[in-house]
Amino acid sequence: MEIRYHGHSCFELIDGETTLLVDPFLSPNNPKADKTAEEVNPTHIALTHGHADHVADVVAVAQRTGAQCVAMVEVANWLEGQGVENVSDPNLGGTVTFDGVSIKLVPAWHTNTVPGSDEKPYSAELGTPMGVPAGLIIKMGGLTIYDAGDTCLFGDMELIGRRHHVDIALLPIGGHYTMDREDAAYAATLIGARRVIPIHYDTFPPIETDVEAFASELDNHGIEALVIAPGGSAEL
């Protein structure tokens, strides 16, 4: 299975004919992204929450491709209100399965809005409050992948790791809006994944950080850091 990283928290998982796009935030909305909304062709889309830096391009991509969308129930209802068809609406603890892929929603500690009609780009506080955020447990291509979403460090990450035997974790490291690289490194020890991919960093000045320092800290704990530059890919 291949992962393609488009910067910030946006990535694709590709296994055969199935392509799962997570948190579509693409060019020109995302200054680090290598692709526009017209240049990705997912079969499925999953969202962790509704902040603009995670959903800016979801409506355009979903309407053009007809991709199956998975989002927290309130965000799913918002998608349908934007004219998106083919939407699944689980809540925390819920799992949806399709085409050999399963996606389970697990807790994340953050806030959640969806873009308001007069919202400035990337502005969470000017959006409409919309339920709670989530992390994603994705089972695909014989692997279990944990996308923590936007979150702070919390103790139940250990429970998530024990329950789901995570192979690869995607963790935000930029700080300010999420946990920083030190907390993310500690989170990696709780989760117990063999590999960690850093996300949600260096997109904007408040979340700039030293990703190599994060990788070095993981190495001290015997965990492999898989650092992928925006536009890059890796075999998992």
The reported pLDDT for the residue numbered 124 is 54
The reported pLDDT for the residue numbered 60 is 96
- In single-letter form, the type of residue at position 155 comes to G
Report the distance separating Cα 25 and Cα 8, nearest Å. 8
What residues in the chain have per-residue pLDDT under 70?
117-126
Instruction: Identify the CATH class of 2-112+123-229.
Output: alpha beta
If you ran DSSP here, which 8-state letter would residue 153 be given?
A: -
Cα 175 to chain center, whole Å? Answer: 16
Give the model confidence (pLDDT) of 84-118 as tens digits.
999 999 999 999 999 899 999 999 999 998 887 66
pTM reported for the whole predicted model: 0.96
Give the model confidence (pLDDT) of 64-90 as tens digits.
999 999 999 999 999 999 999 999 999
The reported pLDDT for the residue numbered 126 is 67
